[in-house]
């Protein structure tokens, strides 16, 4: 009976000690599972949102990104193009209060883009990049 009581008290203490770790793990899992739902929107309202395309330069601000996509990608026909982007290798940090998280994901692109306004032969290419952002760590 005494051993059972000590074991139960010990288990309750261990469980309480693990609670912060469980909460952090839950928050990390939440971000991983839901990141894909917000990848297109999570940073557009940030003044320093940016997108860099190799030697074409860095586009900073929502207006610059909208112009980039409308002028360079929006007018190009998608027929005949292959655009596959694998988002991998996430690194997520949960804030001490558990309310926000910062994350960074590597992205590997496998692409074949038709040249000449979509009338030319597709040019195959590999590309890589990083998605990074800050967001709520759990659903509210």
| Rg of the chain taking only CA atoms, in angstroms | 22
Residue 5 has pLDDT above 70, yes or no: no
**Confidence bin at 14 (pLDDT 50/70/90):** confident
> What is the domain partition of the chain in residue ranges?
2-38+76-136
* pLDDT value of position 57: 81
pLDDT in tens, 69-109: 777 666 666 677 888 888 888 888 888 888 888 888 888 88
Say if residues 93 and 103 touch (Cβ distance below 8 Å).
yes
What is this structure's pTM? Answer: 0.59
Report CA torsion sign: 62, 82, 71, 130. positive
């Amino acid at each position: 009976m005494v051993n059972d009581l000590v074991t139960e008290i010990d288990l309750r203490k261990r469980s309480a000690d693990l609670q912060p770790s469980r909460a952090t793990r839950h928050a990390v899992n939440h971000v991983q599972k839901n990141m894909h739902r917000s990848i297109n929107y999570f940073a557009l309202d940030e003044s320093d949102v940016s997108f860099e395309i190799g030697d074409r330069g860095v586009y900073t601000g929502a207006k610059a990104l909208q112009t980039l996509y409308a002028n360079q990608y929006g007018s190009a026909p998608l027929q005949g193009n292959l655009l596959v982007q694998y988002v991998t290798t996430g690194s997520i940090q949960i804030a001490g209060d558990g309310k926000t998280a910062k994350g960074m994901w590597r992205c590997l692109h496998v692409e074949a883009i038709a040249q000449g306004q979509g009338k030319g032969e597709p040019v195959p290419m590999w590309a890589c990049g990083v998605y990074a952002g800050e967001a709520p760590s759990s659903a509210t």
